[in-house]
Structure 1
Amino acid sequence: MGKLDGQVAVVTGASRGIGQMIAELFAGEGANIVCAARTINEGDHMLEGSLARTVQTIKDNGGDAIAVAANVSEEADCMALIEQARAHYGKVDILVNNAALNYYVPIVDYAVNRWIRAFAVNVHGPFILSKAVLPEMIERKSGAIVNISSGAAIGPGRGPYEDQTARGGTMYGASKAALERFTQGLAQEVAAYGGIAISAVSPSRVVPTPGTVYHKLVDGMEDPRGEPPILMAQASLLLASEPADKVNGRVCYSQEILKEFGWIDDAVGRGVDLPGSGYSQI
């Protein structure tokens, strides 16, 4: 018996990295997976990974999944994604908002259209998709929405600043802080219905993925300072499968929540030996 037997999960950004790992783990726990991203086939994007590969891996391991091309910055694509999920599997039990975008440019140089697009992917998309799946979750009084956040939501604090390097993460951090506030606000709104869990989870340490390697956030896929992506997938599984009254409104970190619930014995990083965001502490 899997933790998600008979459930249907929509996972955005499932073509590579954390989203791919979440999709594969959830499928291994018995869920039918709707894998969403913009990259359908290998070679469609400069980074390694595709929906075709993720879906094939799931099927090769005995699971069931479909690929849906979707740009979550567009309302029409978001609505079409949920419609296709329901058309194929009949329902949506779990939504994982993992897709994210940033250009790592200092604000003084940040193109307005890029800012708007990134904010649309990181915040507007999760809002539109959550709004689309909530009516059936409210009717059933069950369901889970897991928002994938980031340690970037923690700002540099007040000045003066010894480190004055402009690393270009301000936009990404601002959008992830907004996502965490959205998470807890929505969690409070659905609490009256019972059985619905809205949560957010960030890596306790930077996860080596094709994206983080490309942006030089880690020194390669084997960087010993990094966190294996399976830990984020397991933390997402925990938040999607534990009773809602235990996790609704939680803004947490992968190793922190896994240790708290006894899924791992040892933990390090954000939420453990480093402070988390303000939303994780209230």
Structure 2
Amino acid sequence: MTQKSYAALVTGASRGAGKGIALALAATGATVYVTGRTQREGDAPLPGTVHATAIEIDRLGGKGIALTCDHADDQQVAEVFDYIRHNSGRLDILVNNATVLHDELIRPAPFWEKPLDLVDILDVGLRSAYVASWHAAQMMAEQGDGLIAFTSSFGASCYMHGAAYGAQKAGVDKFAKDMAVDLKPYGVAAVSIWMGMLQTERTARVIAEHPEQYAGFSELAETPQFTGRLIDALYRDPQRQQKSGLVLVGAELAHEYGITELDGRRPPSHREALGGPVQAHPAIVA
């Protein structure tokens, strides 16, 4: 694998999965653009800001560039890509991670007894990923290289947190499958990565509130940086086009690439318990 520097954009990186992925890419010396809405501590119920993430990227040896962006606003998204084009002249990796996670998401209840606001994940999470990919694909097709990655989960297959969450995850999986067809002639790959249970600020809060329910969580959970290192390895893989259009279980991809958590742990695949991804049928109807 060639050790070249690159420019990456990670959406929704004030905290959580996006922040961890951005920090893992930063450790390679990459220029990492990060988007998020949170500019000051206290603006959101969970800790973290897009500017703090950029500072951590710098400390890890990368170049962090914070871009305030509400991914529900197409104009703000367009301005992000205009800035990247002007500042770097290229974009090598797009990680579509921005999403809306309602506080009621994990409360056990049928979907009609939860707030209707949970459907916002189909705007920021599904539609927003299409918009960002639309902009990124234009840049990547011009340069003849690139990787678009979607963060997804086993909720695309099994019942997990209700219909809105499941539809968003199944939707980004389908984006990866179909975008890969259009991008193939240009040398650009698209994949969707199923992450396992994640160690994030949100899950830390939930565990603190319900410690008995989440006993043993840390032994199974992945750090968000784990997925970031997978994305880096996939981008550097000279055979990455062979995986374009696939829905990949992160823990299984890690086994193939020989990647572990920094403490040596190997997060398990939950395929046996939760099911595995269904790959695209080879038929193409233009």
TM-score bracket for this pair, using the shorter chain length = 0.7 to 0.9
Q: Helix, strand or coil: the match of 2:218?
A: coil
Q: Which runs of 5+ in 2 are unaligned?
A: none
Contact 2:7–2:92 (Cα < 8 Å) also in 1: yes
Query: 1:14 maps to what in 2?
Result: 13
Q: 1:169 to 1:213 in 2, by over 3 A?
A: farther
* 1:200 equivalent among 173, 177, 192: 192
Alignment of 1:76-115 (within 5 A): 76-103=75-102, 104=105, 106-112=110-116, 114-115=117-118
User: What is the CA–CA distance in structure 2 between the aligned matches of 1:271 and 1:280, rounded to whole Å?
Assistant: 18
Query: 1:182 maps to what in 2?
Result: 175
Query: 2:227 maps to what in 1?
Result: 232
User: What is the root-mean-square deviation in Å for CA atoms of aligned residues?
Assistant: 2.8
Q: Helix, strand or coil: the match of 1:53?
A: helix
Give how far 1:120 is off.
Answer: 1.0
Aligned-partner residue type, residue 84 of structure 2: A
Contact 2:21–2:226 (Cα < 8 Å) also in 1: no
Q: 1:220 to 1:96 in 2, by over 3 A?
A: farther
Query: 1:33 maps to what in 2?
Result: 32
Query: 1:68 maps to what in 2?
Result: 67
Give the TM-score, by structure 2 length.
Answer: 0.83
User: What is the CA–CA distance in structure 1 between the aligned matches of 2:32 and 2:218, rounded to whole Å?
Assistant: 30
Aligned-partner residue type, residue 16 of structure 1: R
Query: 1:247 maps to what in 2?
Result: 243
Deviation per residue, 1:222-275 (Å, 9 max, x gap): 733322222212122223322332321121121100112333495522347763
Q: 1:62 to 1:30 in 2, by over 3 A?
A: closer
Contact 2:158–2:274 (Cα < 8 Å) also in 1: no
Query: 1:160 maps to what in 2?
Result: none
Query: 1:278 maps to what in 2?
Result: 278
Alignment of 1:248-267 (within 5 A): 248-264=244-260, 266=266
Deviation per residue, 1:184-206 (Å, 9 max, x gap): 0111111122x211011121x30
Range 210-219 or range 23-32, more displaced: 210-219
Contact 1:40–1:67 (Cα < 8 Å) also in 2: no
In the alignment, is residue 53 of structure 1 matched against residue 58 of structure 2? Answer: no
Query: 1:213 maps to what in 2?
Result: 204
Q: Which runs of 5+ in 1 are unaligned?
A: 157-166
Q: Helix, strand or coil: the match of 2:220?
A: coil
Range 143-152 or range 267-276, more displaced: 267-276
User: What is the CA–CA distance in structure 2 between the aligned matches of 1:227 and 1:145, rounded to whole Å?
Assistant: 21
* 1:137 equivalent among 137, 140, 161: 140
Q: Helix, strand or coil: the match of 1:95?
A: strand
User: What is the CA–CA distance in structure 2 between the aligned matches of 1:255 and 1:86, rounded to whole Å?
Assistant: 33
Equivalent residues, number: 268
User: What is the CA–CA distance in structure 1 between the aligned matches of 2:203 and 2:166, rounded to whole Å?
Assistant: 15
Give how far 1:209 is off.
Answer: 0.6
Give the TM-score, by structure 1 length.
Answer: 0.84
Contact 1:208–1:221 (Cα < 8 Å) also in 2: no
Contact 1:42–1:52 (Cα < 8 Å) also in 2: no
Aligned-partner residue type, residue 121 of structure 2: A
User: What is the CA–CA distance in structure 1 between the aligned matches of 2:274 and 2:142, rounded to whole Å?
Assistant: 40
User: What is the CA–CA distance in structure 2 between the aligned matches of 1:230 and 1:221, rounded to whole Å?
Assistant: 20
Give how far 1:280 is off.
Answer: 8.4
Aligned-partner residue type, residue 112 of structure 2: V
**Identity percentage of aligned residues:** 26
